[in-house]
Every structure is written in C-alpha cells, then in structure tokens.
C-alpha cells in the first residue's frame, strides 16, 4: 500500500481457496465461492 499506514491484517493464504469437486457436486451454487484467510494484528 502506498498510504504508509500500519497494516492491520496479514494474509494467511496467498491464493483464495476454491470449492472442491465433491462440494460442487453436492452444492452447485458454491461454484463462485472463494475463501480468503487473514489474521488480525
């Protein structure tokens, strides 16, 4: 970030976690879901 403010979170996962093939079979609406994980500092 260019604003030079202190970071308030850190990323745990570099890429978003996407749904598995099994989950897609059971729940087709989960197709567009992407899980991102951060930790509050």
- Structure confidence by residue, pLDDT tens digits, 3-40: 888 888 899 999 999 999 999 999 999 999 999 999 99
User: Looking at the whole model, is its pTM more than 0.85?
Assistant: no
pLDDT of the residue at 38: 92
Domain that holds residue 19: 9-40
Residue with the larger pLDDT of the pair 2 and 5: 5
* Residue 29 forms part of a structural domain: yes
Domain membership of residue 1 (yes or no) is no
- The answer as to whether 24 is a domain residue is yes
25 part of a folded domain: yes
Q: What is the predicted pLDDT for the residue at 7? A: 82
Q: Looking at the predicted structure, is the pLDDT value of residue 1 above 70?
A: no
**39 contacts 6 by C-beta, under 8 angstroms:** no
Distance between CA atoms of 17 and 41, rounded to whole angstroms? 22
- What is the number of structural domains in the chain? 1
Question: Domain for residue 3, yes or no?
Answer: no
């Amino acid at each position: 970030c260019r604003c030079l403010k202190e970071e308030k979170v850190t990323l745990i996962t570099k890429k978003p976690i996407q749904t598995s093939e099994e989950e897609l079979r059971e729940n087709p609406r989960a197709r567009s879901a992407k899980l991102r994980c951060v930790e509050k500092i």
